[in-house]
Structure 1
Amino acid sequence: MRFGYKASAEQFSPNKLLQFAIEAEQGGFDSVFVSDHFQPWKHTDGHAPFAPAWMAAVLAKTERITLGTSVLTPTFRLHPSVVAHAFGTLGAMFPGRVILGVGTGEGLNEVPATGIEWPELKERSARLREAIKLIRQLWSEDRVSFEGQYYKTVNATIYDKPDEMVPIYIAAGGPLNAKFAGREGDGFICTSGKGASLYVDELLPNVAVGCQESTRADKPFERMIEVKVSFDTDAERALNDTRNWAALSLSAEEKHSVQDAEEMERLADQLPIERVAKRWIVSSDPEEHVAQIKTYMDYGFDHLVFHAPGTDQSRFLSLYAKEILPRLKALG
């Protein structure tokens, strides 16, 4: 059982975020995950650092924690060979401490940088499958000439790559991609707050089927979930902090086709606090808070990454290190 910290790259400057990652290691977290967004969820005071560059700085300043993306999209603005190059370098420099978390992407990040017409999920999923195949081939072979439906390389070689391939965790929000994550991934990523049925009846069972179908059936495999938590000794503060991430409460239909940060911010600002807070475990009582988190452990998740919405992340990390992590580790 591992417990991680979600670095809110959309909310804080890269330098502040670096300090929070260092504090997370000092506080006893096992991992730090960061999203690779070209644009943040909101335009006002938003941030969007390039994840591989930021990860390199964190890895150099820390000694123990695992760093990963949750998630990066290796299919549009980032060609799979560029992703293989970046994470091959990170894996070679910091062996055993890097995870490549990938997903099918959202228009907000991919359309402004490329001008593409945002495709349906079927094509995005097909691109992701092909990209993962190419990335692994570039890590394991020399002189790779790849001829896929979407990507092509000619005698491509990654010269500085890890001795062992960097684990690839695959994000999924539905049963088909969950099965693919189990079959082809080294781990599975999803997010909390969407109702028990999604996890118990759809996602985790299909991950299990995919693992059984995998040609690497004996591989290590983690079931990771980003748990949205707002914990503070001040209950009112814990509730109001969720407003900073109101965009998470927009439905997939409301946000996936949005391609502008200002429009995303406008839509999120219209949501009532009651709807915003539903995505979060909001609490001021440590025992109650841990009991709600334990639900996800009971489902079968074994790598929980905690995302806090507040502006004072140092306060959150300190409170979690004192009140929550020890209780969770005792359960784990």
Structure 2
Amino acid sequence: MGIRLGYKASAEQFGPNDLIRFSVTAEEQGFDSVFISDHLQPWRHDGGHAPAALPWLGAVGARTERLLLGTSVLTPTFRYHPAVIAQAFATLGLLYPERVILGVGSGESLNEVALGLEWPDGKERFARLKEAVTLIKKLWTEDRVTFDGTFYSTDKATIYDKPTQPVPLYIGASGPAATRLAGRVADGFITTSGKAPELYSETLLPALAEGAGKIGRTLSDLDLLIEMKVSFDPDADRALADTANWAALALSPEQKSGVEDPIEMQRLADELPVEKAASRWIVSTDPDEHVEKIRRYLDLGFTHLVFHAPGEDQERFLRLYGEHVLPRLRAL
């Protein structure tokens, strides 16, 4: 499997029409894929956005020709019944053959509690994800599916319009249990950059290999996708300042735990200095420095790099990265 270089359409930061325009530019600049998160609420209330991923994927597919399109990630366990997701992505797979990927995860309370849903512990969230993935795959490959699970059920359900080959399913995870599940049942694995190096080398990738090994696969049988947090601009001050909008990513798990209101999340993020906000990002004016730091993830075995830029001028980023960084990465 060759290396893919993608673009993260920041649904928390931009509206749907802007994101389509950016995706068209990404295709023109040589990016291979576009991935979007599916949020009900963004990290920030002021200036935040949360377009629905499902209709947006259909719209951007119609405006592009070759980009792989996917979610990183969507939660098929609370706001959606898994069968609804199975139907939606079967339709997208028919509309855009071999161009659609379903990326799923166990979710965040920020997106679910606002609808009156009670947020369960990690054990239940994992069990729901595992069951949802099982049901989705059954609906993609079988007819008249009667499913009696702990959380979801169907009675002689059929997805009537589905592609010949099921849509690839990726699982996003930051812990070993869900990562082992990805290795065992998924076509790809999704995680994010900027965390402690040993998390990838000592926890996530070994867990992924363990899961894959249980069904006779290796890591080379999976697409290893990582969202790369990068801020690149010839103006060093601008590259640093752009990261402030995404300071919530630098909050510790303890700081974010139980925060279900974008206004409160924004308040916590705005208390961080810009240097702390930038800690999750590769911030540099030098394309060779970007390539050097990105290469560490390639050396770990990641095969699909999806670049997330924090600034407001996304088309500027896409042109600069397309001109100065992507060719260097492809030349490695």
Distance 1:190 1:159 in 2: 33
Aligned to 2:90: 88
1:257-279 CA-partner distances (Å, limit 9, x unpaired)? 21111111111111111211110
1:271-314 CA-partner distances (Å, limit 9, x unpaired)? 11121111000000111111011111111101000000000000
Distance 1:177 1:321 in 2: 33
| 1:92 positional shift | 1.2
1:40-82 CA-partner distances (Å, limit 9, x unpaired)? 1111111111101101111111000100100000000111011
Distance 1:140 1:256 in 2: 38
Aligned amino acid, residue 283 of structure 1: S
Aligned to 2:261: 260
Aligned to 2:70: 68
1:140-186 CA-partner distances (Å, limit 9, x unpaired)? 11111110000011111111111111111101101121111111110
- SS in structure 1 at match of 2:225: strand
- SS in structure 1 at match of 2:325: helix
Unaligned runs of 5+ in 2: none
Residues 35-74 of structure 1: pairs in structure 2 closer than 5 A: 35-74=37-76
Distance 1:54 1:175 in 2: 31
Distance 2:156 2:179 in 1: 33
Cα pair distance change 1:219/1:135, threshold 3 Å: farther
Distance 2:215 2:61 in 1: 31
Distance 1:139 1:12 in 2: 32
Distance 1:80 1:251 in 2: 30
Distance 1:282 1:250 in 2: 18
Cα pair distance change 1:62/1:272, threshold 3 Å: same
- SS in structure 1 at match of 2:21: helix
| 1:217 positional shift | 6.5
Distance 2:75 2:8 in 1: 17
Q: Does the 8 Å CA contact 1:108/1:256 hold for their aligned counterparts?
A: no
Aligned to 2:200: 199
1:58-117 CA-partner distances (Å, limit 9, x unpaired)? 11110001001000000001110110011010011111000000000000001112x121
Aligned to 2:279: 278
Cα pair distance change 1:156/1:216, threshold 3 Å: farther
Aligned amino acid, residue 323 of structure 2: K
Aligned amino acid, residue 38 of structure 1: L
Distance 1:218 1:266 in 2: 40
Aligned to 1:176: 177
Cα pair distance change 1:218/1:299, threshold 3 Å: closer
Moved more, 275-284 or 259-268: 259-268
- SS in structure 1 at match of 2:331: helix
| 1:216 positional shift | 6.3
Aligned to 2:81: 79
1:302 counterpart = 2:311: no
Aligned to 1:30: 32
Residues 129-168 of structure 1: pairs in structure 2 closer than 5 A: 129-168=130-169
Residues 210-221 of structure 1: pairs in structure 2 closer than 5 A: 210-214=211-215, 220-221=221-222
Q: Does the 8 Å CA contact 1:186/1:219 hold for their aligned counterparts?
A: no
- SS in structure 1 at match of 2:275: helix
Distance 1:184 1:249 in 2: 31
Cα pair distance change 1:323/1:218, threshold 3 Å: closer
Q: Does the 8 Å CA contact 1:9/1:48 hold for their aligned counterparts?
A: yes
Distance 2:137 2:216 in 1: 15
Kindly, what percent of the aligned residue pairs are identical? Answer: 62
Aligned to 1:244: 245
- SS in structure 2 at match of 1:278: helix
Aligned amino acid, residue 147 of structure 1: D
Aligned amino acid, residue 189 of structure 2: F
Give the alignment's Cα RMSD to 1 decimal: 1.2
Aligned to 2:190: 189
Q: TM-score, normalised by structure 2?
A: 0.97
Q: TM-score, normalised by structure 1?
A: 0.97
Q: Does the 8 Å CA contact 1:118/1:257 hold for their aligned counterparts?
A: no
Cα pair distance change 1:223/1:152, threshold 3 Å: same
Q: Does the 8 Å CA contact 2:208/2:219 hold for their aligned counterparts?
A: no
Distance 1:237 1:127 in 2: 42
Distance 1:251 1:70 in 2: 21
Moved more, 126-135 or 205-214: 205-214
Unaligned runs of 5+ in 1: none
